[in-house]
Amino acid sequence: MSNIPELFGCLVFNDDIMRARLPKEIYKAFRKTREDGKPLDQTVANSVANAMKNWAVEHGATHFTHWFQPMTGITAGKHDSFITAVDNCKVIMEFSGKELIKGEPDASSFPSGGLRATFEARGYTAWDPTSNAFLKDGSLCIPTTFCSFGGEALDKKTPLLRSMDLIDRQAVRILRLFGDTETTHVTTTVGAEQEYFLIDKALYEQRKDLLYTGRTLFGAKPPKGQELEDHYFGVIKPRVSAYMKDLDEELWKLGILSKTKHNEAAPAQHELAPIFTTSNIATDHNQLTMEVMKQVASRHGLTCLLHEKPFAGVNGSGKHNNWSMSTNNGVNLLEPGESPRENAQFLLFLTAIIKAVDVHQDLLRMTVATAGNDHRLGASEAPPAIVSIFLGDELTDILQSMVDGSVYETPDKEYMEIGVDYLPRFAKDTTDRNRTSPFAFTGNKFEFRMVGSAASIACPNYMLNTAIADVLCEFADELEQAEEFRPALRNLLRRTIKEHKRIIFNGNNYSAEWVEEAEKRGLLNLQSAADAVPYYISEKNIHLLTKHGVLSECEVYSRYEITLENYTKQLNIEALTMVDMVKKDILPAVCAYMKDLSQTACNKKQLSETIPCHLEETLLTRLSHLSSELYMQNEKLEQIVAKAANVEGIKELGRYYRDVVFAQMEATRVIADEIESLVGESYWPYPTYGKLLFSVK
Ligand code: ADP
Ligand code: MG
């Protein structure tokens, strides 16, 4: 293994390289842009571009690309070479400041939702100097935002940057109230733990469902699943280990802080966790991580499945979005702190988050709504579809005594009245014992656990940032006006906690009692994406997003449409794949098996009427019934899918796919899975669950 500190970031045009390669003045101007968002002038841009190009060419690059994150959820870019023709027969390698700052890809083939009507086909990409350029497959990749010519965001990075700017301003206002005159910026930080499955590539390629949809649409339960709990944190098998080593190296080269790797709960399931960084870079890095995971798998004869539910019957995959806020001096604002000032400030940020999550449950639920995630939420393997906050009993009691103005018994059996300026010591490390909560306080950060494994983390984060910033803004407005800060603060916190404490739940989120209790508390339980996505365009949410300029009304509508379109398209592909698999592979396989069974029975009977054919007859009868039933259910599925064309309105279409198409898919699957359990393995057209889940050694 190479020298890791040397290897780390070797494919990244980072700050050190910039400082070394740029004239001092230029470097200073660039830093100003990066830190304060000041526009770059042409000379500076040219100089930076030239240094980037020289560095990239020295490292073997021939092309550059504006790397962006359209609404497809994956990254995109068109690759232009650096060549410029001279004297008709020669080329030189060139890259201008203009090319660095702005690109003009054709935007017409990217999802734009309702914006299609208002914007021309052209879009433009604009350099995001806060995220480093890097090298990939011989191209210099420049992180960019992607907008229409009218200025509407067509990507996931633009609103994320807007939301980070918003929360920066609002959090600094709050810090000023506590007498902090030094902090100039607050940035949100994210560490996204990524779960994934690794299976053998040759087996993967034999399954149309995995190829077309990323998940298995059929598959009888194998004799062994995850019931022995022998995979989580278990010994990593050699092939997987080789993959993980290679993956880490590739990520480190790209400057990605890959830190932890381990086996997850389901067989063939694993996790990678990075060290946290700013939301923007964490988002870029998570996108890159997912890409690199797939590429490296291929080199090892493996396939990396990022789908939220590749296999029924074992856990699916999520992405824990660890979130906090930190000042430009590196102070984590969700650290409860030691001094009374820090305590009070912590309580204010905590209270703001409690309110934001309660008021915007719908919005947060919506950010994790996809066809894939529908399989996980509420299935007792991931948080339920009900948003709630876990604080731990002690912190909850502390907040409650603040509301009541009562005394609190500390772990050391001291009794104290909780003002807002003093937090009794509470055992922080006991705060992360609840693994069932969708939004858990884990000592100095919150862990949003509802995010799906395949999803970009941009949307969950810009919504989270916006919702919290909105409350911080409201708090700052109130407290800045107050005659006396302390009593006003106390009053604000008491009032807010009282109003929003229903969102706090420390119990078992997987239990049926919680579903009932949550309903009593008036919390939302939006079971599927079809239920959740329409909340995007509620008056409250449009108001929140437009008020702070994170998304315009037009952008909200377009995102709403794209999300639902995506959902219905995905279910449509799944349904069509099912129909195809049943017709072309599964029914022919059963027929072949039945033919052999009846042939055997006939042969026996020809030999002697007395040879028993009980096995053949029973199986034949059973399979005849089941295969006719499968044939009928499949016909029905095909008809139902065809009828989707008649459904008007995207919201109605979402409902139709969930309630009618998806329900029929489930009905079809049950029969096929039963048939699979009866048919000889050599007849079955696809590798079984057993093979898929247990063959990588
Ligand atoms: P666990 O979830 O098992 O408690 P850790 O506490 O080590 O594990 O952290 C999990 C993830 O949270 C890691 O990716 C880590 O980088 C991230 N994390 C830790 N502190 C912060 C923070 N202040 N802001 C954002 N993410 C953080
Ligand atoms: Mg975790």
Give tens-digit pLDDT for 379-435. 888 899 999 999 988 889 888 888 887 777 766 666 666 666 667 666 655 555 688
Mutate to test the pocket of ligand 1, among 435, 445, 457 (most ligand atoms within 8 A of CB): 445
272 C-alpha vs ligand 1 centroid, how far in Å?
12
Residue 594 CB coordination number (10 Å): 18
Q: Identify the nearest ligand to the CA of 437 by its number.
A: 2
- How confident is the model at residue 402, as a pLDDT? 84
Phi, psi (5° rounding) for residue 642? -60, -35
Of residues 164, 160, 134, 146, the one with CA closest to residue 72: 146
Q: Which residue's CA is minimally distant from atom 22 of ligand 1? A: 324
Counting atoms of ligand 1 from 1, which one is nearest the CA of 334? 23
Counting atoms of ligand 1 from 1, which one is nearest the CA of 324? 24
- How confident is the model at residue 123, as a pLDDT? 84
C-alpha 254/C-alpha 133 separation (Å) is: 10
Locate 37 and state its tokens.
Answer: 């968002």
273 C-alpha vs ligand 2 centroid, how far in Å?
8
Quickly tell me which residue has 């499955």 as its tokens: 197
- How confident is the model at residue 418, as a pLDDT? 62
Quickly tell me which residue has 């001279």 as its tokens: 86
Mutate to test the pocket of ligand 1, among 277, 280, 285, 322 (most ligand atoms within 8 A of CB): 322
Counting atoms of ligand 1 from 1, which one is nearest the CA of 332? 23
Of residues 673, 671, 687, 685, the one with CA closest to residue 593: 685
Locate 133 and state its tokens.
Answer: 């350029």
- Answer whether residue 588 shows pLDDT above 90: yes
Locate 93 and state its tokens.
Answer: 């390698």
Q: Which residue's CA is minimally distant from atom 6 of ligand 1? A: 442
- Answer whether residue 645 shows pLDDT above 70: yes
- How confident is the model at residue 205, as a pLDDT? 98
- Answer whether residue 34 shows pLDDT above 80: yes
Of residues 226, 318, 230, 237, the one with CA closest to residue 272: 318
191 C-alpha vs ligand 1 centroid, how far in Å?
6
Average pLDDT rounded to a whole number, residues 269-289: 97
Q: Which residues make beta-bridge pairs with 421? A: none
- How confident is the model at residue 122, as a pLDDT? 73
Q: Which amino acid is at 189?
A: T
pLDDT digits (tens, 9 = 90+) for 487-533: 999 999 999 999 999 999 999 999 999 999 999 999 999 999 999 99
270 C-alpha vs ligand 2 centroid, how far in Å?
13
Transcribe 417-446 into DSSP letters: E--SS-PPP--GGGGG---S-SEEE-SSSE
Ramachandran sector of residue 17 (left: φ over 0; alpha: ψ -120 to 50; beta: rest):
alpha
C-alpha 520/C-alpha 691 separation (Å) is: 45
Counting atoms of ligand 1 from 1, which one is nearest the CA of 190? 25
- How confident is the model at residue 665, as a pLDDT? 98
391 C-alpha vs ligand 2 centroid, how far in Å?
15
C-alpha 357/C-alpha 15 separation (Å) is: 36
435 C-alpha vs ligand 2 centroid, how far in Å?
8
Of residues 361, 360, 335, the one with CA closest to residue 347: 335
Q: Flag whether the pTM goes above 0.85.
A: yes
Ramachandran sector of residue 330 (left: φ over 0; alpha: ψ -120 to 50; beta: rest):
left
Flag the least confident range among 205-219, 256-270, 338-352, 407-421: 407-421
- How confident is the model at residue 416, as a pLDDT? 63
Q: Which residues make beta-bridge pairs with 86? A: 90
Flag the least confident range among 118-132, 232-246, 642-656: 118-132
- How confident is the model at residue 114, as a pLDDT? 64
Average pLDDT rounded to a whole number, residues 290-301: 98
Of residues 191, 438, 478, the one with CA closest to residue 332: 191
Q: Grade residue 8 by pLDDT with cuts at 50, 70 and 90.
A: very high
- How confident is the model at residue 332, as a pLDDT? 97
Pocket of ligand 1 (CB under 6 A): 189-191, 193, 273-276, 322-324, 332, 432, 442, 444-445
Q: Identify the nearest ligand to the CA of 448 by its number.
A: 2
92 C-alpha vs ligand 2 centroid, how far in Å?
50
Q: Which residue's CA is minimally distant from atom 17 of ligand 1? A: 191
- How confident is the model at residue 111, as a pLDDT? 78
684 C-alpha vs ligand 2 centroid, how far in Å?
39
Q: Which residue's CA is minimally distant from atom 3 of ligand 1? A: 432
Q: Identify the nearest ligand to the CA of 446 by its number.
A: 1
- Answer whether residue 659 shows pLDDT above 80: yes
CB under 8 Å to 100, separation ≥6 — which residues? 45, 48, 49, 52, 127, 142
Q: Which residue's CA is minimally distant from atom 11 of ligand 1? A: 191
- How confident is the model at residue 231, as a pLDDT? 79
- Residue 122 DSSP one-character state: B
- How confident is the model at residue 233, as a pLDDT? 82
- Answer whether residue 453 shows pLDDT above 60: yes
Counting atoms of ligand 1 from 1, which one is nearest the CA of 444? 23
Q: Grade residue 464 by pLDDT with cuts at 50, 70 and 90.
A: very high
Counting atoms of ligand 1 from 1, which one is nearest the CA of 273? 14
Q: Which residue's CA is minimally distant from atom 14 of ligand 1? A: 191
Sign of the Cα pseudo-torsion (355, 357, 363, 367, in order): positive
Phi, psi (5° rounding) for residue 580? -65, -45
Locate 97 and state its tokens.
Answer: 């400041």
Helix (H) or strand (E) segment spanning residue 564: helix 553-581
- Answer whether residue 552 shows pLDDT above 80: yes
Q: Which residue's CA is minimally distant from atom 23 of ligand 1? A: 324
Residue 546 CB coordination number (10 Å): 15
Q: Which residues make beta-bridge pairs with 141? A: 65, 134
DSSP strand pairing (258-263 vs 269-274): antiparallel
Average pLDDT rounded to a whole number, residues 149-162: 92
Q: Grade residue 571 by pLDDT with cuts at 50, 70 and 90.
A: very high
Quickly tell me which residue has 């966790």 as its tokens: 273
- Answer whether residue 463 shows pLDDT above 70: yes
Counting atoms of ligand 1 from 1, which one is nearest the CA of 442? 4
Helix (H) or strand (E) segment spanning residue 139: strand 139-148
Counting atoms of ligand 1 from 1, which one is nearest the CA of 322? 26
- How confident is the model at residue 425, as a pLDDT? 66
Q: Identify the nearest ligand to the CA of 257 by its number.
A: 1
Q: Which residues make beta-bridge pairs with 186? A: 327
Phi, psi (5° rounding) for residue 647? -80, 130
C-alpha 110/C-alpha 430 separation (Å) is: 46
458 C-alpha vs ligand 2 centroid, how far in Å?
18
* Contact predicate 173/480, CB 8 Å: yes
Locate 429 and state its tokens.
Answer: 């490390």
Q: Identify the nearest ligand to the CA of 273 by its number.
A: 1
Q: Identify the nearest ligand to the CA of 449 by its number.
A: 2
Per-chain mean pLDDT for the chain: 93
CB under 8 Å to 306, separation ≥6 — which residues? 196, 214, 290, 293, 294, 317, 453, 454
Q: Grade residue 653 by pLDDT with cuts at 50, 70 and 90.
A: very high
- Answer whether residue 576 shows pLDDT above 60: yes
Transcribe 351-412 into DSSP letters: HHHHHHHHHTHHHHHHHT--TTGGGTTTTTSS--SS--EE--HHHHHHHHHHHHT-EEE-TT
Locate 662 and state its tokens.
Answer: 């998806």
* Greatest C-alpha distance within the chain: 104
Average pLDDT rounded to a whole number, residues 251-258: 97
DSSP strand pairing (319-327 vs 186-200): antiparallel
C-alpha 315/C-alpha 264 separation (Å) is: 9
Average pLDDT rounded to a whole number, residues 442-471: 97
Quickly tell me which residue has 């190009």 as its tokens: 53
- How confident is the model at residue 63, as a pLDDT? 97
275 C-alpha vs ligand 1 centroid, how far in Å?
7
Q: Identify the nearest ligand to the CA of 260 by its number.
A: 1
Most confident of 127-131, 426-430, 619-623: 619-623
575 C-alpha vs ligand 2 centroid, how far in Å?
34
- Residue 187 DSSP one-character state: E
- How confident is the model at residue 109, as a pLDDT? 75
322 C-alpha vs ligand 1 centroid, how far in Å?
6
Phi, psi (5° rounding) for residue 237? -70, 155
* Cα separations in angstroms, 554 against 70, 110, 114, 567, 648: 16, 16, 7, 20, 21
Q: Grade residue 460 by pLDDT with cuts at 50, 70 and 90.
A: very high
Counting atoms of ligand 1 from 1, which one is nearest the CA of 443? 6
Mutate to test the pocket of ligand 1, among 189, 232, 264, 276 (most ligand atoms within 8 A of CB): 276
Q: Identify the nearest ligand to the CA of 323 by its number.
A: 1
Average pLDDT rounded to a whole number, residues 293-302: 98
Most confident of 150-159, 291-300, 386-395: 291-300
Helix (H) or strand (E) segment spanning residue 605: helix 587-607
- Answer whether residue 253 shows pLDDT above 70: yes
446 C-alpha vs ligand 2 centroid, how far in Å?
10
279 C-alpha vs ligand 1 centroid, how far in Å?
13
Helix (H) or strand (E) segment spanning residue 271: strand 269-274
Count of positions (residues) in the chain:
697
Q: Grade residue 113 by pLDDT with cuts at 50, 70 and 90.
A: confident
